[in-house]
Amino acid sequence: MRKFFASMLYTLLILYILTPSGLGIDQKKQTAPSKQSEPEPAEEVKIPLSFKNVIGNWSLKYSGNYGYYFSLSKNYRAIVIIYLNTQSLIFKGVYTIDEKNTLKINISELKDEPRVTGINLYAGFVKAKSSYFLFDGYKIKKNNKDNLYLEPRSIIIDGNNSEGYFEPSIKLTKASR
């Protein structure tokens, strides 16, 4: 069990180092200026997290099969998948949102999957003890697109501090069904 978590911590550290924000690369794509006048972009407004506006599937994908996937359902169940090139770390649990705009996912099960596609979300999980993810966050709706911004505050797995599992700031896009 310790080898499993040591391996998981090592791979997540590598993910943090290899992701664009870990390398100091801006996640926004640069576009060439257009000769036509473009309409002014709609103003971004931070919307506090609520149980109604976080429901759905949220993802952030990088090249090389790296990224994140959050599934937050209306029955408070959560699935978090971290893609690490050739493997995936899957966490299952329940979530809550407090009045300070904090998303807490209490992890009950986890597993290390040796693939990034065709992931089995039903079998092979190990029970987790004293495990949770704590994020500060907000939602932005701009040009009819929803984005969920999360900033990790505490990542605890089996009672151990697992800082480095996530980037300092994650911009998730609502995935279509």
- The sign one gets for the Cα dihedral 149, 49, 173, 88 is positive
Bridge pairing between strands 126-142 and 102-113: antiparallel
Lowest mean per-residue pLDDT among 22-31, 61-70, 71-80, 118-127: 22-31
The average pLDDT across 147-159 equals 94
pTM above 0.95, yes or no: no
Of all residues in the chain, the percent with pLDDT exceeding 70 is 75
pLDDT tens digits for range 100-111:
899 999 999 999
Question: What is the C-alpha to C-alpha distance for residues 101 and 165, in angstroms, rounded to an integer?
Answer: 21
Greatest mean pLDDT among 20-24, 107-111, 172-176 lies in 107-111
Question: What is the C-alpha to C-alpha distance for residues 3 and 122, in angstroms, rounded to an integer?
Answer: 23
Answer whether 82's CB lies under 8 Å from 68's CB: yes
Q: Count CB-CB contacts under 10 A for residue 160.
A: 12
The average pLDDT across 1-24 equals 46
Could you tell me the residue ranges of all domains in the chain? Answer: 2-22+45-174
pLDDT tens digits for range 46-85:
899 999 999 999 999 999 999 999 999 999 999 999 999 9
How high is the pLDDT of residue 41? 56
Answer whether 102's CB lies under 8 Å from 149's CB: no
**H or E element, residue 89:** strand 87-97
The more confident residue out of 44 and 35 is 44
How high is the pLDDT of residue 48? 95
Question: What is the C-alpha to C-alpha distance for residues 127 and 125, in angstroms, rounded to an integer?
Answer: 7
The average pLDDT across 37-46 equals 63
- The sign one gets for the Cα dihedral 52, 53, 55, 56 is positive
How high is the pLDDT of residue 32? 46
How high is the pLDDT of residue 31? 45
Arithmetic mean of pLDDT over the chain: 82
In the predicted model, is pLDDT for residue 15 greater than 80? Answer: no
How high is the pLDDT of residue 163? 76
Count, in order, helices (H) and strands (E) of the chain. 1, 10
In the predicted model, is pLDDT for residue 175 greater than 60? Answer: yes
Answer whether 20's CB lies under 8 Å from 62's CB: yes
